[in-house]
Chains A and B, each alone.
Chain A
Amino acid sequence: GENVEQHPSTLSVQEGDSAVIKCTYSDSASNYFPWYKQELGKRPQLIIDIRSNVGEKKDQRIAVTLNKTAKHFSLHITETQPEDSAVYFCAAPTSGGYQKVTFGTGTKLQVIP
């Protein structure tokens, strides 16, 4: 089955700095990589996703890069703001698709004002 490793587990940055979270996966057939943000006491929400036919995708201050050869993908947040403080999860589906998804263990991001 799929194995997803996520690093770091905690990350503190100064407001305005960039934050990078990295994930590696094991199933070479995986081709969809979502990132979820979970604020304290709330449900996870999709913030960005990438499919294997592209190497990078941006949405305002958030970007995701994918390296299929190395089987890793990263979340980049620029110009961080206090409201970016949350736990971020990467995920990858198992081969065959549908909705069997393996999540990374999460990164707790703290943005210090």
Chain B
Amino acid sequence: KAGVTQTPRYLIKTRGQQVTLSCSPISGHRSVSWYQQTPGQGLQFLFEYFSETQRNKGNFPGRFSGRQFSNSRSEMNVSTLELGDSALYLCASADGAVDNEQFFGPGTRLTVL
């Protein structure tokens, strides 16, 4: 099976812009979670989608949003970018059952100037 893929791998944006990141899960997986990884804050949970519905949400402002399509691919959007949004954004794919292994993608490195 192909692993989790994320596009693009690198992005440079300026403050105030918006950005959309994409994640394709492992075939057959219906759960996609998004995380923000920064040196100071570690891995922080953004949200999780399962069968096109947001099932869980972390403590991020409304500027961070996401969606999932019928083929389980997921997108994450960040509007009105701030310098502090610079981070590695990781998505993780899982089969959706309770407490099962998550498989991470390679991440998208976002730099906000």
Contact = CB atoms under 8 A, between A and B. Distances in A.
A105 B99 contact: no
A93 B48 contact: no
Interface in B37-79: 42-45, 48, 50, 55-56, 58-59
Interface in B68-105: 90, 92, 94, 96, 98-99, 101-105
A77 B94 CA distance: 26
Given A99-B33, A105-B42, A43 B98 contact: no
B43 A99 contact: no
B80 to A, nearest CB: 25
Interface stretch (A13-21, A44-52, A68-76): A44-52
A46 B99 contact: no
B104 A44 contact: yes
B99 A97 contact: yes
Contacts of A105: 42
Given A99-B56, A100-B56, A46 B102 contact: yes
Contacts of A1: 59
Contacts of A45: 104
Contact of A43 (B55, B90, B94): B90
Contact of A101 (B33, B42, B55, B105): B33
Given A89-B42, A105-B42, A106-B42, A43 B99 contact: no
Given A99-B48, A102-B45, 6 more contacts: A34-B101, A46-B103, A98-B56, A99-B96, A100-B45, A103-B44
29 contacts: A32-B99, A36-B104, A43-B105, A43-B106, A43-B107, A44-B43, A44-B90, A49-B101, A89-B43, A93-B99, A97-B99, A98-B48, A98-B55, A98-B96, A98-B99, A99-B31, A99-B33, A99-B48, A99-B50, A99-B55, A99-B94, A100-B33, A100-B45, A100-B48, A101-B102, A102-B45, A103-B35, A103-B45, A104-B42
Interface of B: 31, 33, 35, 42-45, 48, 50, 55-56, 58-59, 90, 92, 94, 96, 98-99, 101-107
